[in-house]
Amino acid sequence: MPTHKTLDSLTKLLKEHKVGLSAVAANKKLLTAGVLEEKSRQSGADPAKTKKFKVFTELGCEFGENVVNPLSPETTPKYYKEVFPDLVDKYFKT
């Protein structure tokens, strides 16, 4: 099995593979399928507010990695280019 190393954003890979979904729509499908989950944290700027963000679940880790965002204390899911076609076939084909 090849080592997956090339990471990219969902938006870029959706366009590259001509999926025809926005990242928002794709994320909704992946949340429903259990590939992603939504987490939250208290806002640093306003402690009364909550920030939500998405991360890969254990199921989703075959499709990418949760990468630490250098601009905030949360992670961003980044997708393996090499297996993105498998994700498309499994979760985005109607």
Please, what are the averages of pLDDT over each run of 10 residues along the chain (94 residues)?
Answer: 78 96 97 96 84 94 91 87 96 84
pTM of the model: 0.87
Q: What is the pLDDT of residue 73?
A: 74
Residues whose CB is less than 8 angstroms from the CB of residue 52 and which lie 6 or more positions away in sequence, other chains included = 38, 39, 40
Tokens coding 19: 């999926």
For residues 87, 9, 7, 69, the Cα torsion angle rounded to the nearest 10 degrees is -130
Do residues 76 and 67 touch, judged by C-beta distance below 8 A? yes
Q: What is the pLDDT of residue 38?
A: 96
| Enclosing H/E stretch for 10 | helix 10-16
Q: What is the pLDDT of residue 3?
A: 62
Coil, strand or helix: which one is 1?
A: coil
Q: What is the pLDDT of residue 94?
A: 60
